[in-house]
Structure 1
Amino acid sequence: MKFLNKVTAVAKLPERISGLKEISKNLWWTWNYDCQTLFEDIDKVLWEKTNHNPVIFLKQVNQKSLDKVVSNDSFLERYDNVFSSFKSYLQEKNTWFNSTHKNYNDGEIAYFCAEYGLHESFPIYSGGLGVLAGDHVKTASDLGLPFVAVGFLYKEGYFIQKLDSNGNQESHYINYDFSDFPVEPAKDENNEDIYIEMNILRRKVYVKLWKIDVGRVPLYLLDTDIDQNDPEDRLLTHRLYGGDHEMRIKQEILLGIAGVKALRRVGVNPSVWHMNEGHAAFLNLERIREFAEKGLNFKQSVEAVRSNSIFTTHTPVPAGNDAFPVHMIERYFNYYWENLGASRDEFFNLGLEIREDGSHMFSMTILALKLAGRSNGVSELHGKVSRNLWKHAWEGLEAVEVPITHVTNGVHSETWISNDLQKLFDKYLSTDWRNKLDDPDIWSKVDDIPDEEIWTIHKKLKSDLIRFLHDRIKLQRARHGETVEQLNEIEKIGDNNILTIGFARRFATYKRATLIFKDLERLEKILNDEEKPVQLIFAGKAHPADKPGQELIKRIYEISRMPKFKNKIIILENYDMNMARYLVSGVDMWLNNPRRPHEASGTSGEKAGMNGAINFSVLDGWWVEGFDGNNGWAIGDNRDYEDLELQDKIDSVSIYNQLENEIIPKYYNTSDKGYSHDWIEVMKNSIKTVSSFFNTHRMLKEYTQKLYMPAIVQGKNFYSNDFEIVKDFTYWKEILERNWNSIKIKAVVDTDLSEEIAVGKEINVNAEIYLPGIGPDSITPEIIIARLEDEKVVSIKSFDLKLKKEIQKDLYKFEGTFEIEERGNYGYNVRVIANHPFMPHRNYLMNFVKYPE
């Protein structure tokens, strides 16, 4: 039949609950369970079917369902409370940031990331980095930070994972309709859609800008899948981490350069710029170009950019640190460096990395480090690993001195703590515990919760998990063509009386997903013990190009189908944020066994710990700081190995020994009430210690005080009075560059240090230092004492030398003393480092360290 046209009819939202549409367009609802419950109560089946997406839900909901709840007084009362909370949240003025920084009147904090894990219904994330970024943005909203974020609106996002009947991973992509997302086109001052014009390989590429509200924070998203672009360029924002090196460099050019242009178009002029991983590092090239337009030269522009830029590195694994061949960078930027006022060499030196094989690469991490005045890793150990990994960028410094600090990752508590537990906390902690997430005194009240109540909640969450995995496995095996009888057998999988251990994360080889299978005979005895059985649940994706990671998935699948492991080893497909919530709240124990020290942080264990799931982890990432001996178990010990086979053997034996001798006996040491008081004690310790520190409220406060505010102050100083300080600082630095290599140092120690000396003995040092064209005010001469272990520097202490006199032109005498405070082996030397009153820390400048020849 022919039609004049086609239309889609949707239910009319009754005026009485019309606020649901407004709420659906703001991701605030993703961390408000009361709000989610409203949609679920309207139509629970549809809520699940739409993957908890209120935008699609309101399009598909039946009119009768809406009319029914409007006549329900209880529903309307809850709706009024939720809508009032929503409005109050958006209008709140007395936020943590406003209370802490009452007179703040500067620009926004701009945050750039390639992915954001905000909710399973908005699939612009792949894993840990994105979920961390999503939690970062949510918390910036909670704390009231002047915050704005930039990313991509992916047409296909990250892949949907399916496992075939042999355990092979299949990658499927969905072509999303943006009208099903809570995004709106960003508008300019004339209320017109915003398009950004880019030049990539001398071809015009147009980027449409979208906006989504995350509580009080706007997130701007870039999209090239528009009619104005060539088919090739429309693909640039289709897939997250898809394609080859050519696709990746184009995406990163868009994120950085188009991202800056996007903020300018919406009238945002940030006071600090935060690059969350190296993918966004090109943003500072665009900022240099902007400063060049204002009349600054290249070196001045670099200093202006560094003053208020922050870089967070998230992984020591090479695959996570993008680097491009120099010839590729030349092809994409050969027209661009002139716009920066830079020569070719000056431009390439910003990111040049010479590999051990002699190849020259342009490293996005090096670029970010060189153009950020402040950099950090994401745990204490990761900060240490990063300093060692990138110390070559600070020639002359030992790893312990490299100015890469750390801010340990946390998670957004209201997103990840289950609704049932939150209600329990409302009852026993405080009605306002959500506003005191980083207060240990609040969390100490977890001890007041009766064991029976917390165990009842935990068993309920465990049952929810088992129902969830039944549904997922049925869909998977029905697709494989299993019979009705076989599908009915699925109901026997999972038992909420059995110790349940979860392992869910990205399947990269360094995470060693199959470590627990190293001794299958021993594992079989553990899992199938008649009195004290154990079940394992696995989930996770491997990147479509990561064949070794996919082999790990297949191996676990094959083991799970062995008769001796029937119903005791379960592997779920398509791990996402929805599944993660079921797992971290429903398992008894969270297993994590990466190859130390490759796990930068690892936030899934933090989510589990907050829910009372006990961590059983290698001492890597956050667990180095989190483990206290009473809140979980540590696999292996606190050391690194050169022999990887030996590391695997020791760690796997540690897993088996502790399961057999400590963990399983403690879990099954049940009272006549049917649960183990000893186990619940560890659960409570886990909740208290993890919740009070490893939350993003503590994390964002630390970022604010440690990085954001100092960068804002430095940027304001550098930019004032027509960039007067920038120009003076750059001029001073150029003088150092011309004369630095001519510095000569002659040091004399008045004590014979060829033999042993007593701890605490004062030692005098004299130094004659030749400073041609520099002068003593531009340097800090210092004695450095390096503590050595196995001939490696483990710590450094410095003592400044004081100027005594000018011996002759440009030659100065300095004196100082030092003493060694603890026994041990040490090395000592005298050196000169740069010094300027506007340097925020001693090692702010790269490669300005001079030792005696």
Structure 2
Amino acid sequence: MNHFKKNSVSRIIAYFSMEIAVDERIPTYSGGLGILAGDTLSAAASVGFSMVGVSLLYRKGYFFQRIDENGVQTEEPVEWIVDDFLVEQQPRVKIQLENREITLRAWLYEIEQMDHKIPVYFLDTDLPENDPYDRGLSGFLYGGDDRYRLCQEAVLGIGGVRMLRALGYKKIDRFHMNEGHSSLLTLELLREQMVEAGHDQASWEDIEAVRALCVFTTHTPVAAGHDKFPLSLVKQVLPFFPLHGELRDIFCCGDYLNMTYLALNLSHYINGVAKRHSEVSRMLFSHYEIDAITNGIHVPSWLSGPIQKLFDEHIPRWKEDIFSIRYAISIPLKEIWEAHLINKRLLLDFINRQKNVGMDIDHFTIGFARRMTAYKRPELIFTNLERLNSIAKSVGPLQLIFAGKAHPKDEEGKKIIQRIHAIRHLLGPEIKLVFIENYDLALAKRIVAGVDLWLNNPQPPFEASGTSGMKAAINGVPSLSVLDGWWIEGCIEGTTGWSFGMDLFQLKESKENALSLNRDASDLYDKLEKLIMPIFYNNPDSYASIMRSCIAINGSFFNAQRMLMQYVLKAYY
């Protein structure tokens, strides 16, 4: 901690992300990417490291999710009052989009941890001097068509650099692009470099100077996660974009601007977000050196009250030395179990009030909460309902808590939610299933702390990292997960949780969806029936011991302070 504070005076890192979650009441995030960004900046505040966050303001949020009795999702704009939470800043900057000049302002939110503050600036185009279309760029997160997205990303990247300069950040040591959405910032840095060097056209020396400033974290092996725009659109929206010349291939990928390739080409350090993800990324982007820094969570943000009370009693000064959480291994099992029961009661009381389902604190409860999309395979546990009902009859009652949003344009994701709702009527009396709408930070904190088991079953190798299981672990909730993302590193079978499913390295077979689906489902049922649920129902001390190991082993390592330390050592210095 002292190392960070000693050196942070002379270094500052600008952290750019399309979404940053700073407060559950501020709808500037949709899911994992934004929450990871918020946790990263919170970790910087916790250790006194100098960073500044840059994102966009979304006056209508991602969306407010409503689900009717048939499981049909509808989306509504989020209603919130910007100046109740953020402070408007005085500077105004301008960027050019198409043939228009757009004025931007910034709103400030300060993340405060351990007496240190990290500023986060949210860029806003909703100003009376702007064209109505441009004012709407501060509307929805991940909304609109390609033109809307490209304009938003120009505001973030180009406008973000200009705003930082206007706010007085003249000397920034690194620009960290959290995913490719912000990679147009490289163009603004290149323009600055050319002006400083007195060049009319970019040279290789200018390119190298920009690379030295930039760090890029890629977060997804899923094709849809990599934004690309046809050059015909780029030429219209960004008339200054360098489409020609000997450096063209630095900026363009065939007939497209691929935001990921732009970031790859103009960064001196590139990383994936788990060891396996970096391997997959090196296969996807074979000409690039891609390191691995596994994601982590900001522990104080995700720790439930009852578990924090245990830390305060048994691990003095744990907030100052987050790695000391390993000493949780000495907390008495009875206290671990009692703290968990408090969290479980809080969750089940909330659900019973919301949904009137009568969930029982003595019954084994599984949580599955994440974005509802096909590759996450939310329906895997329902593959064989006869087998699932049989397990609940023979071993013990089962309670399933689901939550998550489907992107408004993801029709298959919406159908998944409908099918999960329909399954409720096919389950025996020993199984209770509930789907909680409008999954957000507040609901996530309830679920990760209150369930008995965290379920994660994406189609390998599409889980880049995943952090929800880390949040469960710090609260003493073990995971049952396929070996993908962070779980390859975090799973000690029978000690921190359990794995199931096919061998992750058989990538060819993973594409044979029917085969891998049925085999994974069968393995999932075997683990529940023969191992996990019998421990829970017949040997609660053994289950509490696994819960304690989750905290001490995974909680002490898969945290944002460790992650930030690795960024400092590998990317920022």
- Normalised to the residue count of structure 2, the TM-score between the two structures is 0.95
Output aligned runs, 1:407-422, within 5 Å: 407-422=293-308
Cα separation, partners in 2 of 1:105 and 1:131, compared to 1, 3 Å: closer
Cα separation, partners in 2 of 1:472 and 1:194, compared to 1, 3 Å: farther
Of 498, 503, 509, 1:633 maps to 498
Is 1:652 equivalent to 2:521 in the alignment?
yes
Once the two structures are TM-superposed, the CA of residue 493 in structure 1 deviates from its matched residue by 2.2
Output aligned runs, 1:361-510, within 5 Å: 361-391=256-286, 394=287, 402-429=288-315, 431-438=316-323, 442-473=324-355, 490=356, 492-510=357-375
Once the two structures are TM-superposed, the CA of residue 650 in structure 1 deviates from its matched residue by 1.1
Once the two structures are TM-superposed, the CA of residue 279 in structure 1 deviates from its matched residue by 0.2
Q: Which runs of 4+ in 1 moved over 6 A?
A: none
Output aligned runs, 1:602-641, within 5 Å: 602-629=466-493, 630-639=495-504, 640=506, 641=509
Of 202, 214, 231, 1:309 maps to 214
Is 1:179 equivalent to 2:83 in the alignment?
yes
- Paired residues of 1:383 and 1:406 also in contact (CA < 8 A): yes
Once the two structures are TM-superposed, the CA of residue 374 in structure 1 deviates from its matched residue by 0.7
| Secondary structure of 1:161 counterpart | strand
Cα separation, partners in 2 of 1:581 and 1:175, compared to 1, 3 Å: closer
- CA-based RMSD of the aligned residues comes to 1.6
Of 692, 695, 703, 2:556 maps to 692
Once the two structures are TM-superposed, the CA of residue 594 in structure 1 deviates from its matched residue by 0.3
Output aligned runs, 1:1-150, within 5 Å: 95-99=2-6, 101=7, 106-150=10-54
Find the aligned partners of 1:448 and 1:555 in 2 and give their Cα distance.
Answer: 44
| Secondary structure of 1:434 counterpart | coil
Find the aligned partners of 2:516 and 2:248 in 1 and give their Cα distance.
Answer: 40
Code of the residue aligned with 1:446 in structure 2: it is: A
Find the aligned partners of 1:647 and 1:225 in 2 and give their Cα distance.
Answer: 48
Q: Which residue of 2 aligns with 1:275?
A: 177
Q: Which residue of 2 aligns with 1:156?
A: 60
Is 1:200 equivalent to 2:64 in the alignment?
no
Find the aligned partners of 1:627 and 1:527 in 2 and give their Cα distance.
Answer: 25
Is 1:254 equivalent to 2:123 in the alignment?
no
Find the aligned partners of 2:427 and 2:329 in 1 and give their Cα distance.
Answer: 42
Output aligned runs, 1:207-226, within 5 Å: 207-215=104-112, 216-226=117-127
Find the aligned partners of 1:179 and 1:205 in 2 and give their Cα distance.
Answer: 22
Output aligned runs, 1:552-563, within 5 Å: 552-562=416-426
- Paired residues of 2:67 and 2:73 also in contact (CA < 8 A): yes
Structure 2: runs of 5+ lacking an equivalent? none
| Secondary structure of 1:433 counterpart | coil
Structure 1: runs of 5+ lacking an equivalent? 1-93, 187-192, 338-342, 355-359, 395-401, 474-489, 671-675, 710-853
- Paired residues of 2:502 and 2:516 also in contact (CA < 8 A): no
| Secondary structure of 1:110 counterpart | strand
Once the two structures are TM-superposed, the CA of residue 348 in structure 1 deviates from its matched residue by 3.8
Once the two structures are TM-superposed, the CA of residue 408 in structure 1 deviates from its matched residue by 0.2
Q: Which residue of 1 aligns with 2:192?
A: 290
- Paired residues of 2:326 and 2:555 also in contact (CA < 8 A): no
Cα separation, partners in 2 of 1:279 and 1:271, compared to 1, 3 Å: same
Which deviations, in whole Å up to 9, do the C-alpha atoms of 1:269-326 show, x marking residues without a partner?
2111101100000001011011111114512221110012100000010111001112
- Normalised to the residue count of structure 1, the TM-score between the two structures is 0.64
- Paired residues of 1:148 and 1:219 also in contact (CA < 8 A): yes
Code of the residue aligned with 1:658 in structure 2: it is: K
Which deviations, in whole Å up to 9, do the C-alpha atoms of 1:409-463 show, x marking residues without a partner?
000000001011011111112x20112112xxx3343232222221111111101
Q: Which residue of 2 aligns with 1:350?
A: 250
Which deviations, in whole Å up to 9, do the C-alpha atoms of 1:485-520 show, x marking residues without a partner?
xxxxx1x52111011000000012100000111101
Find the aligned partners of 2:513 and 2:23 in 1 and give their Cα distance.
Answer: 37
- Paired residues of 1:348 and 1:362 also in contact (CA < 8 A): no
- Paired residues of 1:158 and 1:240 also in contact (CA < 8 A): yes
Code of the residue aligned with 2:252 in structure 1: it is: L
Output aligned runs, 1:670-689, within 5 Å: 670=539, 676-689=540-553
Is 1:319 equivalent to 2:184 in the alignment?
no
Find the aligned partners of 1:421 and 1:135 in 2 and give their Cα distance.
Answer: 19
Of 665, 668, 672, 2:537 maps to 668
Find the aligned partners of 2:392 and 2:359 in 1 and give their Cα distance.
Answer: 13
Once the two structures are TM-superposed, the CA of residue 688 in structure 1 deviates from its matched residue by 1.1
Q: Which residue of 2 aligns with 1:578?
A: 442
Q: Which residue of 1 aligns with 2:71?
A: 167
| Secondary structure of 2:253 counterpart | strand
- Paired residues of 2:13 and 2:176 also in contact (CA < 8 A): yes
- Paired residues of 1:437 and 1:691 also in contact (CA < 8 A): no
Find the aligned partners of 1:698 and 1:256 in 2 and give their Cα distance.
Answer: 27
Q: Which residue of 1 aligns with 2:452?
A: 588
- Paired residues of 2:9 and 2:50 also in contact (CA < 8 A): no
How many aligned residue pairs are there? Answer: 560
Find the aligned partners of 1:312 and 1:455 in 2 and give their Cα distance.
Answer: 38
Code of the residue aligned with 1:278 in structure 2: it is: G
Find the aligned partners of 1:332 and 1:247 in 2 and give their Cα distance.
Answer: 10
| Secondary structure of 1:435 counterpart | coil
Q: Identity across aligned pairs (percent)?
A: 40
Find the aligned partners of 1:528 and 1:459 in 2 and give their Cα distance.
Answer: 23
- Paired residues of 1:559 and 1:565 also in contact (CA < 8 A): no
* Structure with larger RCO (C-alpha < 8 A, sep 6+): 2
Find the aligned partners of 2:241 and 2:461 in 1 and give their Cα distance.
Answer: 38
Once the two structures are TM-superposed, the CA of residue 154 in structure 1 deviates from its matched residue by 1.1
Q: Which residue of 2 aligns with 1:229?
A: 130
| Secondary structure of 2:130 counterpart | coil
Cα separation, partners in 2 of 1:444 and 1:211, compared to 1, 3 Å: closer
Once the two structures are TM-superposed, the CA of residue 668 in structure 1 deviates from its matched residue by 0.8
Code of the residue aligned with 1:205 in structure 2: it is: I
Once the two structures are TM-superposed, the CA of residue 95 in structure 1 deviates from its matched residue by 4.2
Once the two structures are TM-superposed, the CA of residue 344 in structure 1 deviates from its matched residue by 1.4
Q: Which residue of 2 aligns with 1:727?
A: none
Once the two structures are TM-superposed, the CA of residue 592 in structure 1 deviates from its matched residue by 0.1
| Secondary structure of 2:345 counterpart | helix
Structure exhibiting the larger radius of gyration computed from Cα positions: 1
Q: Which residue of 2 aligns with 1:786?
A: none
Find the aligned partners of 1:219 and 1:368 in 2 and give their Cα distance.
Answer: 22
Once the two structures are TM-superposed, the CA of residue 557 in structure 1 deviates from its matched residue by 0.9
- Paired residues of 1:156 and 1:239 also in contact (CA < 8 A): yes
Cα separation, partners in 2 of 1:638 and 1:563, compared to 1, 3 Å: closer
